[in-house]
Amino acid sequence: MPALTRNKKKGAKSQTPPTKQVTKPRTPPSKTQSKPQTTTLKKGAKKPPLKKQKKEVVVEEEPLEEDDEVVSDASIDSESEELDESDDEGGKGSNGFFSDDEEENDDDDETLGDDFLEGSGEEEEEEEEEEEGPSDVGSDSDSDEDDDDLVKQSEAIDRKLAKQKADADAEQQELNKQDESEHDAFRLPTEEELEEEARGPPDLPLLKTRIEDIVRALKNFKAFRPAGATRKECVEQLKADLGSYYGYNSFLIGTLVEMFPPGELMELIEAFEKQRPTSIRTNTLKTRRRDLADVLLNRGVNLDPLSKWSKVGLVIYDSQVPIGATPEYLAGYYMLQGASSFLPVMALAPRENERIVDVAAAPGGKTTYIAALMKNTGLIYANEMKVPRLKSLTANLHRMGVTNTIVCNYDGRELPKVLGQNTVDRVLLDAPCSGTGVISKDESVKISKTADEIKKFAHLQKQLILAAIDMVDANSKTGGYIVYSTCSLMVAENEAVIDYALKKRDVKLVTCGLDFGRKGFTRFREHRFQPSLDKTRRFYPHVHNMDGFFVAKLKKMSNMTKSSEDDDEAVETVEQDEVSDDDDDEAEAIEENRNKERRTKSKEDKRSKKDKKSKSENGNVEPKARKQKKKRSEWKNEIAQAREEKRIAMREKAKEKK
């Protein structure tokens, strides 16, 4: 059948319109539906409509003649053109459309027989390719439109941000103008105004605003200088206002002003007004920090690990039970201890099987930490001078399960005489101090500490550090270290003491082993210290959120000493070294003379007491003492003579036997 070989696409177009119109006969085509009609025309060659067409062909094959099967290409083209024209006419009804093309439809159905079904797969692929073309174009156009929308949105956002920035700059300029106007209005009070303020109670809001104004002026004195005022006047007024607002005496607030710049000074003072967080130390002799934390969390304690630098510390935020009365506390699983108290022991770094001295041990937090690091090996001398504090020291040692510690009650300056010089591996000296770093715990420090007391503490600390150095053996295989620490911020109690020790003993400063903390002062006002003092560490409440603390670590290089070694005056040797120092003040010399006078008075009192006792027993004292001495000498002579006689007799007997 050569007549059936024709263009498949055209045949598909001629076949599809009748099938579509049959399904929806009453819906007239619209302009908006022109594009989808072309696609439906192409989709008309799919299999579902072909099955219907096949049925129609089977029904209508009987009356057809052979001549009708021969269809020319020209007639098919004309039919397709007519169909296109009919599609373009959107206003016509469905009846007219079917009436004109029914016969042509039937002819097409007859001529599209088996050949059309055989080529259906290829037609579908070609039609899908044709359909993909316009769809891709549509998607590209849509993507371009989306890109345009994104660009517009981004431009709108940029405009909005620029507007916000401009508004912020304008507000900042207005604030700066206001500050300048306020600054122009700020001035230091006159003497009359100060007198009026002194008559009445302190005006706290006025003091607060004036302190802020002076601090801002001192930060940039060139730009915010009060009219007709010098820097010295501003500083003096700041000292007076801080003292009256926060309750400090003139000496302490003056020292803090000299140590810190104005902005940092305000942060420090504000930090002193707040309590430091409660911290505990896990006793590794009995438990682990993880297990202890789990138990305390179950008891309603809100806690967290202390910090990265500590493996045993926990910080307590709040607790539903008293943290110092839990079964775990009574069992010795942890110790209530400030975070700053961890630092000296960490710097000391004790090792197992060493001999260590804790010069000021009470209440035992540092001593028990040392014992835990040593795993109850070696030997610890826990010394405490004050007898009432020995109870808490021994109680904590027993509660924490420490078994390698000897508690002793001596003056720390006499320990080299008691324990011996060059006999221990390490010494921890947490020296008694003014406590200016723990004002948040004891606010009485604000008004109680004076320059004379600071000098007394510094004098005592110098004596103690020399005694601690003398106890350490420089030839120790594992040790030879001294750690000096205070809870004070005063330079006279910290850097000045270490500088004095470096001059008087053969020691050197080494790193503390602490990764944080500020370096110590190498110069302070008129004082100049050794450059190695930058290895010391200072800790502040406003920076490290712990009590103010100072830590220094010394290494003893040799056992040489410059002090005299009199058995009866072990304490006076340290004092002689201090007198020979050129940097000591006259107050130290006066205090030294007072100590000597006290010793002579105590000796005289003891002698007078003995004399009184002897007089009560016998009227004359000197003859009795002489008689006793004579009797003792006679007894000794008699014993010696008896021994010699026995020896002579033994020798004679031995000769006779021979």
Which residues carry a binding-site annotation for S-adenosyl-L-methionine?
A: 360-366, 384, 411, 430
Query: How many whole angstroms from its chain centre is CA 550?
Result: 19
In whole angstroms, give the CA distance from residue 75 to residue 55.
Answer: 24
The number of CA neighbours under 13 Å toward the Cβ of 548 is 24
Both tokens assigned to 498: 């270490």
User: 557: which residues sit within 8 A by CB, 6+ positions away?
Assistant: 474, 506, 507, 508
| One-character DSSP codes across 595-623 | HHHHHHHHHHHHHHHHHHHHHHH-S-SHH
487 given a catalytic annotation: yes
| One-character DSSP codes across 95-112 | HHHHHHHHHHHHHHHHHS
* Cβ burial 617-640 (10 Å sphere, 16+ → b, else e): eeeeeeeeeeeeeeeeeeeeeeee
SS (H, E, C) 453-490: HHHHHHHHHHHHHHHHHHHECCCCCCCCEEEEEECCCC
Name beta bridge partners: 305.
Answer: 314
In whole angstroms, give the CA distance from residue 392 to residue 448.
Answer: 26
At 382, give phi and psi (nearest 5°). Answer: -100, 105
Roughly what angle, to the nearest 10 degrees, separates helices 94-111 and 8-23?
A: 140
Q: Are 321 and 298 a contacting pair, CB within 8 Å?
A: no
| Annotated binding-site ranges | 360-366, 384, 411, 430
325 DSSP assignment: S
Residue (of 226, 367, 208) closest to 273 by Cα position:
208
Cis amide linkage into residue 189, ω under 30° from 0: no
* Cβ burial 268-301 (10 Å sphere, 16+ → b, else e): bbebbeeebebbbbbbbbbbebeebbebbeeeeb
The single residue of 234, 408, 433, 487 carrying the catalytic annotation is: 487
In whole angstroms, give the CA distance from residue 526 to residue 635.
Answer: 68
Look-up: residue for tokens 């605003």?
209
The residues carrying an active-site annotation are 487
